[in-house]
């Protein structure tokens, strides 16, 4: 199989553009549209899927009235949200108040831009892919942090303070797990990390790095749940405690943007998990030639989408199954348990690599 | 920025050496997703830690007791439905007991069994709602739905029994409003089988859950002394290690003939308040199964109806053990067909009044755990 990268669309634009700066702008717009399509496109479907998963867990049907299986329910909800009044609370810092919803969206779009969707399907492929992702995902924290501050509401402020503490903490273990993957695969290039897992499914990092890979995957999922502010670690919103946490005062489109960002973030985080541990866009192969050929007929981006959907469904089951720990218990989990465990994992990974137990 | 020195909200005391700049107040409610109604808690917070909690009442005050003075005794029964609507049958029963006591009205054997069946079904449905809300308030939304799913079956049975799903108005002085439908006993028998399974399911879902345990063990401890001092009753009191249940200690109806235990726990924390309700549900099933066996097949469901109930002058008190605690009805009668004064002693008011003792020093999330485990229903507090 040809593993070399080529930039067909980019090259085409460059070839026909009269000036190089035109090509740069056109390519930029194409990239933006692509990322937005990948990010915003699945969000309504995911919201519908979340409701269906919730309904399944709770022994009910979920949305059924609008469209087949209630597929149009999300459309109706979005329309309702858009027609609501955009309320700015008295005493709010207006500029920051309306800037805040844009920040998490921006961060998730930037992460989506570097994710390889197929052999030749990636908006940008920086050599420092993993550090880029770590750096950018820090931006997402800023959104909920300033949203609570600008709202002039004590519940929102409490929520944003929690979000600051929680997301910064879990960022640490998330970064350490990413470093573990970098360590075992010997590259920070996201595409190369995927290509390193070429082969049957036991060549994926979750299995290929003996035991450690699975442990790292489990810890990634825990940290990611906290990082995404999803239940059971949704202290930031904590409906029962803080009404709606940092977005208590947001309505209409501003709230819709937070809501959207949550789902795009979900896609981005699951895409990263799939890239790091589940072979990204590589097809699922079982090592039997005939079956593998059939499986390979399914294009890479569909494999990627399937893996992402599987992980997202897992996140959704977490959300609808577990009760929520208290905020101090969550911090304890990170600093007293996950962080030391991650450091040990990293050290063990280094030992394994040094003794040749893991071959990148 | 200029700091404005604000006066303390009503109900708070200034502690010497307490700096105003570090602590702040937050209004939890009256509109809040987890206060089970329009309950307003003013919390004095130090970061996330609650220093003091003052409940403010009156947001759903309807003047039921005053209204009761201008309505006949029979009409007052339906007003008690609107107090603790989760335990409507048990509230009704308390008023009926007071009237029966005052007028020496006897209750036929069969009517007593119907009453106890209905009362214990009501206890089960209330506790299922508690289990659901407990899970829901802890963040496990699914448990909420499961609780309502089980309660729904009982609501359906009540629907067939008396046409009401929430406010039943089924009890009458001397019996019940109408006879049970033909398939009532079979439905209850079938229900007992599924309910046992459902309780076990809840135990698997919540009791062993590490997050639930971490959230509730040692949280919101109500000592036996405090519980007694504040007049707490029901599971809230019994979880603190004091056994007081009217069904055993001051038996009414036919409870003295039935074989059941009063579960008691000693820590007084949120987890015990949860466990005791699970245990009580098992005991309720025991009671219901005995009633199903012993209920006479034939017989009147009500002693002879009177055209109007005129209580002899004097004051009367009767209390029942509802799912929340002791619900008492105090009547001052003046020979008329309407009470001169009628008062309901609601268990939730006393239970809620101890909230400051329970949440002091804990975090905001624990306030929710406490509110949900004392299982308050706000319309019962305000009346």
**What three-state secondary structure class fits B176?**
strand
Q: pLDDT tens digits, residue range B161-201? A: 888 888 888 888 888 888 888 888 888 999 998 999 989 98
Query: B368 contacts in A (CB within 8 Å)?
Result: 240-241
Instruction: Check CB contact of A330 with chain B, cutoff 8 Å.
Output: no
Phi-psi region of B47 (alpha: psi -120 to 50; beta: other; left: phi over 0): left
Shortest Cα–Cα distance, A122 to chain B (Å): 38
Residue A60: its pLDDT value, please? 85
As beta bridge partners, residue B43 has B26, B53
- Classify residue B172 by its DSSP letter: E
Query: Over 80: is that where the pLDDT of B18 sits?
Result: no
Answer whether residue A57 shows pLDDT above 80: yes
Domain of B255? 64-382
What's the number of domains chain B is made of?
1
**Contact between A321 and B364 using a beta-carbon 8 Å cutoff:** no
B229-268 pLDDT, tens digit per residue, is 998 998 999 999 888 888 888 888 888 888 888 899 988 8
Closest in A57, A240, A329 to B34, CB measured: A240
Q: Residues 204-233, chain A: which have Cβ within 8 Å of B?
A: 231-232
Is A18 a residue whose pLDDT tops 80? Answer: no
- DSSP strand pairing (B40-46 vs B49-56): antiparallel
Enumerate residues 55 to 84 of chain A having a beta carbon within 8 A of any beta carbon in chain B. Answer: 57-60
Mean pLDDT, chain B, as a whole number?
Answer: 86
The answer to whether A320 contacts B368, with C-beta atoms less than 8 Å apart, is: no
Q: How far apart are CA B219 and CA B211, in angstroms?
A: 13
CATH number reported for the structural domain that contains residue B104 in this entry: 1.10.645.10
> What pLDDT score was predicted for residue B19?
53
Give residue-wise pLDDT tens across range A96-142.
888 888 888 888 888 888 888 877 777 777 778 888 888 888 787 88
A42-57 and A300-321 helices, crossing angle to 10°: 40
C-beta atoms of B209 and A54 within 8 A: no
CA distance A250 to A152: 11
Mean pLDDT of A299-318: 88
Across the interface, whether the CB atoms of B33 and A154 are under 8 A apart is answered no
Q: Sorting pLDDT into bands at 50, 70 and 90, what band is A294?
A: confident
pLDDT grade for B204, boundaries at 50, 70 and 90: confident
Task: Note whether A240 contacts B136, CB cutoff 8 Å.
Answer: yes
Residue A264's pLDDT is what? 87
Residue B211 to residue A57, Cβ atoms within 8 A: no
Contact B89, B170 (CB under 8 A): yes
Average pLDDT over residues A341-349: 90
Residue B186 lies in a domain: yes
In sign, the C-alpha dihedral spanning A146, A148, A154, A158 is negative
Q: Please, which pLDDT band fits residue B285 given cuts at 50, 70 and 90?
A: very high
Average pLDDT, chain A: 83
The ipTM is 0.78
Two tokens at B293?
């066996």
Q: Does B5 fall in a domain?
A: no
Q: Which residue has the higher pLDDT, B104 or A238?
A: B104
Q: Do B146 and A58 touch (CB under 8 A)?
A: yes
User: What was the pLDDT predicted at A2?
Assistant: 42
The pLDDT-based confidence of A212 (bands split at 50, 70, 90) is confident
Order of strands, edge to edge, in the sheet holding B24-28? B24-28, B40-46, B49-56
| Residue B46 falls inside a structural domain | no
Task: Determine, yes or no, domain membership for B22.
Answer: no
Dist. CA B234–CA B220, nearest whole Å:
17
**Has residue B146 been placed in a domain?**
yes
Spell out the alpha helix ranges (H) of chain B: 64-69, 73-81, 88-103, 109-137, 141-162, 184-202, 210-216, 224-229, 234-238, 246-249, 270-294, 347-353, 355-359, 364-374, 378-382
The Cα of B69 is separated from the nearest Cα of chain A by a number of Å equal to 39
Residue B38 makes CB contacts below 8 A (sequence gap 6+) with: B29, B30, B31, B59, B60, B378
Which of B136, B218, B364 is best to mutate for the A interface (most A CBs within 10 A)?
B364
Q: Which whole number is the average pLDDT over A187-206?
A: 81
> Which residue is closest to A60 within chain B, CA to CA?
B145
What helix, strand, coil percent values describe chain A, rounded to 5? 70, 0, 30
Select from B276, B19, B255 the least CA-distant residue to B120.
Answer: B255
pLDDT score of B16:
55
Angle CA B236–B153–B129, to nearest 5:
25
- CB–CB contact B209 A57 (8 Å): no
Inter-chain touch A232–B146, beta carbons under 8 Å: no
The distance between the two most distant Cα atoms of chain A, rounded to a whole number of Å, is 67
In this complex, is the C-beta atom of A322 within 8 Å of any C-beta atom belonging to chain B? yes
CB contact under 8 A, B137 and A240: yes
Which residues does B129 contact at the CB level (< 8 Å), separation at least 6? B86, B147, B148, B151
According to the model, what pLDDT value does residue B155 have? 92
Greatest Cα pair distance in chain B? 80
B interface with A, Cβ–Cβ < 8 A, is 24, 26, 32-34, 48, 135-143, 145-146, 149, 206, 209, 211-212, 214-215, 363-368
Q: What is the pLDDT of residue B2?
A: 47
State what percent of residues in chain B have pLDDT above 70: 94
- Quick check: is B253 in a domain? yes
Q: Is residue B153 part of a domain?
A: yes
Per-residue pLDDT, A340: 92
Q: Does A187 lie at the interface with B, CB-CB under 8 angstroms? A: no
Is residue B149's pLDDT more than 50? yes
Asked if B138 and A324 come within 8 Å (Cβ–Cβ), the reply is yes
Quick check: A287 pLDDT over 80? no
Which stretch of DSSP H or E encloses residue A355? none
How close, in Å, is residue B368 to chain A by CA atoms?
Answer: 7
- Which residue in the set A54, A231, A243 is minimally distant from B139, CB to CB? A231
Burial A5-39 (b: 16+ CB within 10 A, else e): eeeeebeebeeeeeeeeebeebbeeebeebbeebb
Check pLDDT > 80 for residue A302.
yes
Mutate which of B365, B366, B371 to test chain A, going by most A C-beta atoms within 10 A?
A: B365
Q: For chain A, first and last CA: distance in Å?
A: 19
């Amino acid at each position: 199989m040809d593993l070399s990268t080529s930039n067909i669309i980019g090259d085409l634009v460059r070839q026909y553009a009269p000036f190089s700066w035109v090509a740069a702008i056109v390519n930029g717009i194409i990239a933006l549209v692509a990322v937005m399509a990948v990010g915003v496109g699945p969000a309504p479907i995911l919201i519908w899927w979340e409701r269906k998963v919730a309904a399944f867990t709770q022994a009910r049907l979920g949305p059924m009235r609008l469209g087949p299986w209630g597929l149009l329910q999300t459309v109706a909800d979005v329309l309702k949200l858009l027609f609501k009044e955009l309320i700015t609370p008295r005493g709010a810092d207006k500029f920051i108040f309306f800037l805040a919803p844009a920040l998490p969206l921006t961060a998730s779009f930037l992460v989506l831009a570097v994710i390889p969707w197929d052999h030749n399907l990636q908006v940008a492929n920086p050599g420092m892919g993993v550090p880029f992702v770590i750096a950018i995902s820090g931006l997402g924290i800023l959104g909920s942090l300033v949203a609570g501050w600008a709202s002039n509401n004590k519940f929102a402020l409490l929520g944003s303070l929690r979000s600051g503490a929680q997301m910064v903490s879990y960022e640490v273990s998330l970064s350490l797990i990413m470093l573990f993957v970098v360590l075992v695969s010997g590259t920070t290039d996201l595409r190369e990390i995927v290509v390193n897992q070429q082969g049957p499914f036991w060549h994926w990092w979750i299995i290929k790095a003996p035991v450690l890979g699975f442990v790292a995957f489990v810890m990634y999922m825990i940290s990611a749940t906290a990082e995404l502010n999803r239940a059971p670690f949704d202290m930031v919103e904590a409906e029962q405690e803080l009404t709606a946490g940092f977005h208590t005062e947001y309505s209409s489109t501003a709230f819709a943007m937070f809501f959207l960002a949550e789902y795009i973030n979900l896609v981005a985080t699951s895409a990263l998990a799939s890239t790091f541990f589940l072979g990204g866009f590589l097809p699922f192969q079982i090592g039997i030639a005939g079956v593998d050929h059939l499986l390979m007929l399914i294009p890479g981006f569909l494999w990627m989408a399937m893996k992402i959907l599987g992980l997202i469904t897992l996140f959704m089951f977490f959300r609808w199954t577990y009760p929520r720990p208290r905020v101090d218990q969550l911090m304890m989990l990170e600093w007293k348990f996950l962080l030391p465990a991650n450091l040990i994992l990293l050290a063990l990974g280094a030992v394994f690599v040094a003794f040749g137990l893991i071959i990148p | 920025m200029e700091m404005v020195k604000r006066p303390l909200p009503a109900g708070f005391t200034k502690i010497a050496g307490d700096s105003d700049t570090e602590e702040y107040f937050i209004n939890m409610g009256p509109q809040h997703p987890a206060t089970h109604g329009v309950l307003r808690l003013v919390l004095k917070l130090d970061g996330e830690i609650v220093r003091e909690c003052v409940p403010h009442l009156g947001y759903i005050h309807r003047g039921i007791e005053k209204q009761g003075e201008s309505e006949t005794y029979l009409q007052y029964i339906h007003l008690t439905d609107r107090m603790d609507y989760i335990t409507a049958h048990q509230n009704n029963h308390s008023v009926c007991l007071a009237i029966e006591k005052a007028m020496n009205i006897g209750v036929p054997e069969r009517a007593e069994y119907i009453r106890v069946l209905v009362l214990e079904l009501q206890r089960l449905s209330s506790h299922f709602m508690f289990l659901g809300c407990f899970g829901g308030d802890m963040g496990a939304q699914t448990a909420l739905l499961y609780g309502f799913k089980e309660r729904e079956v009982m609501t359906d049975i009540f629907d067939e029994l008396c046409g009401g799903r929430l406010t039943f108005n089924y009890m009458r002085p001397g019996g019940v409003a109408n006879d049970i439908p033909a398939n009532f006993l079979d439905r209850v028998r079938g229900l007992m089988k599924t309910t046992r399974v459902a309780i076990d399911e809840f135990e698997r879902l919540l009791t062993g859950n590490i997050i639930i345990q971490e959230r509730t063990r040692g949280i919101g401890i109500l000592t036996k002394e405090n519980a007694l001092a504040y007049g707490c009753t029901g599971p809230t009191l019994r979880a603190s290690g004091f056994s007081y249940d009217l069904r055993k200690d001051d038996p009414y109806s036919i409870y003295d003939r039935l074989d059941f235990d009063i579960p008691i726990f000693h820590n007084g924390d949120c987890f015990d308040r949860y466990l005791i309700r699970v245990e009580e549900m098992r005991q309720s099933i025991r009671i219901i199964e005995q009633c199903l066996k012993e209920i006479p097949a034939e017989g009147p469901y009500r002693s002879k109806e009177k055209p109007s109930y005129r209580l002899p002058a004097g004051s009367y008190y009767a209390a029942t053990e509802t799912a929340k605690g002791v619900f008492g009805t105090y009547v001052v009668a003046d020979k008329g067909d309407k009470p001169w004064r009628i008062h309901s002693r609601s268990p939730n008011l006393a239970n809620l009044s101890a909230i400051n003792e329970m949440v002091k020093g804990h975090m905001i999330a624990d306030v929710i755990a406490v509110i949900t485990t004392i299982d308050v229903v706000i319309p019962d507090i305000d009346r």
